[in-house]
Structure 1
Amino acid sequence: MSNLYTIQKHFDTIDDFSNHEELLIHILQVYLNSFPIKDAYLLRYSPIGFVAEGIIYLNESGGIHIGEIREEIRSFPIIYSAIVDKKAKFCTGMDYLKNISIKYVVASKHNKLLIVPIFIGPYVFGYICSTHFEEDIEISEKLLDDLTSFGNTVGHLLIQSKGKNKDVSLSKRELEVMMQVANGDSTKEIANIMDLSELTINQYVKSAIKKLKAKNRSHAINLLYQQGIIL
């Protein structure tokens, strides 16, 4: 396994990536090249509603978008624990059966699950989930610590990439609402989650669209994604 200094060198610059998706793919490639792991599901996470949504899956054969994956992470104790503790977590055997979702398409011979939270300070905004590992892998506390540090490094990198955009200044509420829109929630669902009126939610959305100079909600979400404002 590469040491953390070597891993950090892979992230020295974010200027070589033409868009946010290229950066996310690079992050997963570094992850797979640096640890004895063979696959990676990248998911964004919103503390509003405890919702995780798939972004990209990557393994040695290539990658696919996994937007169909959407989880309420409190239903998965190991994921919830990793996010609350901001620490990489691993399970196998019976614990695996209690934690895996049928949405993760894995062969029956695999019965291991690793969760690596992506975070900065107290804020977790995504995680990497892995189910395939190199033969005879030993998931030691040292390896979990290194994976936790990797998640924190990625968190700082993504915040840095967000900082590149100086033209977008959404308020905290506008960003929270647009994250829920990105998760696929309706205005009514967002209003219930945030304990606000539907009128207020629509006002936040209209304000965000105007600030982004977007044509509509979908265009606004696409711009936020491309610019790294949301994972």
Structure 2
Amino acid sequence: MLNESTIHEYISNLNKASTHEEKLNLCTKGLLELFPIQEVHLFRYSPLGNIAEGILKINSSGLHYIGHVRDDLRNLPPIYSSLRKRRAMYISNEEFFEKYGSKYTNPNEKNDHFIIPICFSSTPVGYFIGRELPRNFTCDEKLLSFLTLYGKLVGKIIESNKEGQSIGKLSKRESEVMQRISCGESIKEMTKSMGISEYTVKDYIKSAIKKLEVNNRVEAVAELLRRGSIS
């Protein structure tokens, strides 16, 4: 039977993941394992500009990257409201389609949804969309509270891991990505040449910018050139 201890135990096991991407995959799969959900979409979110970007989705057919999805959440009231309240929300398929359109759901399907904020220190940093719920499913406040807790624990473990990274010194992969950027290679080209996802490339860039204490990738490349770290 699902309870808070079960959720805490599952999240604590995410520390065993060897990479950030593996941790994201496992926390997304956790919703399928612990809750009555058969498909999950994971998005990152920036409060600056209220922009959401797709990362991945997992369902019965496997894992799929959804980096092509990008939205201003102010145009998507149910998700925006859930993130502002930092509380999981249940929404019917009819209402979901009315607010979102066909990009996210099919109006001919009976497919209700969960919106699950991912928060760190009370700040929303992403969210899950859980769909393909069982027939005759009934949602209650207890389940929503468990989903809210899950999102908070995921945010804490993912973001705290990023905070623990050293400042100034780039990892081998981060340096490689920045070197490729300086040579004019695009993110899509790097996904093929390095054999990693588009999200992972973006994560390396974001991490490098943070460690170098600059504002964007152009400044990051300039700083690395100044240091002689790349050529």
Q: Verify same fold: TM over 0.5.
A: yes
Are residues 1:159 and 2:165 paired?
no
Counterpart code for 1:88: A
State the match for 2:17 in structure 1: 17
Q: Secondary structure at the match of 2:23?
A: helix
Partner of 1:134: 134
Which residue identity lines up with residue 4 of structure 1 in the other structure? Answer: E
Question: What does residue 52 of structure 1 align with?
Answer: 52
Equivalent positions of 1:68-147 (< 5 A) are 68-92=68-92, 94-104=94-104, 106=106, 108-147=108-147
Contact 1:96 1:111 in 2 (8 A): no
Contact 2:92 2:113 (C-alpha < 8 Å) held by counterparts: yes
Task: State the one-letter code of the partner of 1:66.
Answer: I
Name the residue aligned to 2:26: 26
Q: Which residue identity is paired with 1:70?
A: R
Preserved contact between residue 37 and residue 130 of structure 1 (Cα < 8 Å): yes
- Aligned CA RMSD, in angstroms, stands at 3.0
Cα distance, 1:145–1:114 mapped onto 2, change above 3 Å: same
Residues 85 and 12 of structure 1, relative CA distance in 2, 3 Å threshold: same
| Structure-2 separation of matches of 1:215 and 1:162 | 24
Q: Which residue in the other structure is 2:64 paired with? A: 64
Q: Could you state the TM-score of these two structures normalised by the residue count of structure 2?
A: 0.71
Q: Encode CA deviations 1:153-204: one digit per residue, 9 max, x unaligned.
A: 111111222133224589xxxxxxxxxxx59xxxxxxxxxxxxxxxxxx964
Structure 2 unmatched runs, 5+: 171-201, 204-213
Cα distance, 1:4–1:203 mapped onto 2, change above 3 Å: closer
- 1: CA distance, partners of 2:215 / 2:70: 26
Task: Kindly state the Cα deviation for residue 30 of structure 1 after the two structures are TM-superposed.
Answer: 1.1
Q: 1: CA distance between counterparts of 2:23 and 2:63?
A: 14
What amino acid sits opposite 1:137 in the alignment? F
1:190-224 deviation per Cα after TM superposition (whole angstroms, max 9, x unaligned): xxxxxxxxxxxx9643444447x9869xxxxxxxx
Instruction: State the distance in 2 between where 1:106 and 1:97 align.
Output: 7
Q: Number of matched residues?
A: 188
Misfit runs of 4+, over 4 Å: 213-216
- Name the counterpart of 2:217: 205
Q: Which sections of structure 1, spanning at least 5 residues, go unmatched?
A: 171-181, 184-201, 217-231
Paired letter, 2:83? I
Find the aligned partners of 1:168 and 1:134 in 2 and give their Cα distance.
49
- Matched residues in 2 for 1:58 and 1:113: separation? 15
* CA spacing shift, 1:3–1:106, aligned 2, 3 Å: farther
- More deviation, 121-130/158-167: 158-167
Q: In the TM superposition, what is the alpha-carbon distance from 1:60 to its structure 2 partner? A: 2.7
Q: 1:114 to 1:82 in 2, by over 3 A?
A: same
Q: Give the residue type in structure 1 aligned to 2:86.
A: K
Higher relative CO (CA 8 A, sep ≥ 6), structure 1 or 2? 1
- The range that moved more, 161-170 or 126-135, is 161-170
Check whether the contact 1:90–1:139 (CA below 8 A) recurs between aligned residues: yes
Between the aligned partners of 2:103 and 2:69, the Cα distance in structure 1 is 7
Contact 2:73 2:80 in 1 (8 A): yes
Identity %: 30
Contact 1:40 1:129 in 2 (8 A): yes
In structure 2, what is the Cα distance between the partners aligned to 1:95 and 1:111?
11
Change (3 A) 1:215 1:92: farther
Supply the distance in 2 between the matched residues of 1:160 and 1:90 (Cα, whole angstroms).
28
Name the TM-score, length of structure 1 as normaliser: 0.71
| Structure 1 residues 169 and 126: CA distance shift in structure 2, 3 A | farther
